[in-house]
Amino acid sequence: MVSNFRKAYSVVGVVLLLQYFLQLYFIAAAVFSVWQANDNQKDVYAGFKNGDKFAGIHAGNGDLAGIMIIILVILSFAARQPWRTTILSGVLFVLIFLQSILAHTGIALLSALHGVNALFLIGLTGYLTGANWAFRRPASAGVTPP
Amino acid sequence: MTDFFRKAYSVVSVLLLVEILAQFYFIAAAAFSIWLAEDNQKSIAAAFENAGPFAGLHAMNGSILVPATILVLIGLSFAARYSWRTTGLTALLAAAFILQFALAIAGFAGITPVAGLHAVNALVILGLAAWTVRRNWAFGERGARAQAAVAEPVRS
């Protein structure tokens, strides 16, 4: 049973990483929608409205990533992962909570840290997924070749 | 001398990481300048003007400093007599950067679905840059071990 939960932890870690890639993709698409517009009020606003659709998907997917992180924390308990892994999975939740706060500060220079914090989230998720990968072949120590 | 170039490689690769982090910060500042504005034509247009300097810093850092740093890093990987694998992966940074530039051009040309990959490729560049820092760190205990290994020929 523990083995299944460890596998589930790995799968959720990979799904989370894919969600992060999508987050970057959607927000870049949103930004380019504005910057490709001609430099006049009407076109910039039209570009913004077009980009807002991508920004909306970015926000929705971000909320979903928060839920996935909660699932990851629960799975780290269920899989009886080492405390270090469980605590670091909890840190992921703190980081995504901070990510949400940074997105709504109202101060662009402060909110911009949202982009840097995202990299910490991606790095830590990548580390936790890689370090606790449950689909490795067991080492064949002690097996003597025929 | 090789030791000096290996240390220089480490310092420059950290500098590259900082430049890439700054890229994420600048473009996020530009985006938030717009998305935090009121949703009407006048406010958005004014916010777009305010975001200009951040977008400009992103463009300048991305089109001058980052490629220059990558070129220096490639030169240093030769000078430090790193393995072909390390030099090849450092050169891969340059290839990823060229792709990054092409994706930005696609974005300005209005091919938004392709341009979105600009940010995903940025992550690839960041990952490669982080790898060069971690794998070839030339200071402290790891640096001393690597220096001892330099006594043996690295390239064939």
pTM of the model: 0.88
Question: What are A94-103's contacts with CB under 8 Å, separation 24+?
Answer: A95/A120, A95/A121, A95/A124, A96/A62, A96/A65, A96/A66, A96/A69, A96/A121, A97/A66, A99/A62, A100/A62, A100/A66, A103/A59, A103/A62, A103/B32
Model pLDDT, residue A70: 96
Cβ–Cβ contact B110 with A under 8 A = yes
Model pLDDT, residue A125: 97
Mutate to test the interface with A, among B26, B33, B48 (most CBs of A within 10 A): B48
Q: Give phi and psi for B33, each to the nearest 5.
A: -55, -35
Min CA distance, B76 vs chain A (Å)? 27
Q: Give phi and psi for B154, each to the nearest 5.
A: -90, -40
Q: Give phi and psi for A141, each to the nearest 5.
A: -70, 140
The full set of domain ranges for chain A reads: 2-131
CB spacing of A119 vs B119 below 8 angstroms: no
Model pLDDT, residue B152: 47
Cβ–Cβ contact B131 with A under 8 A = no
Mean pLDDT of chain A: 92
Q: What is the ipTM of this complex?
A: 0.86
Which chain A residue's Cα is nearest to B26? A112
pLDDT at A65 over 50: yes
CA B38 to chain centre: 33
pLDDT in tens, B66-113: 999 999 999 999 999 999 999 999 999 999 999 999 999 998 888 888
Chain A residues touching residue B29 (CB < 8 angstroms): 108-109, 111-112
pLDDT in tens, B2-50: 889 999 999 999 999 999 999 999 999 999 999 999 999 999 999 999 9
Contact by Cβ (8 Å): B45, B154 = no
Pairwise pLDDT comparison (A136 vs A56), residue with the higher score: A56
Model pLDDT, residue B156: 46
Dihedral angle computed from the Cα positions of residues A128, A129, A132 and A136, in that order, rounded to the nearest 10 degrees: -160
CB spacing of A28 vs B117 below 8 angstroms: yes
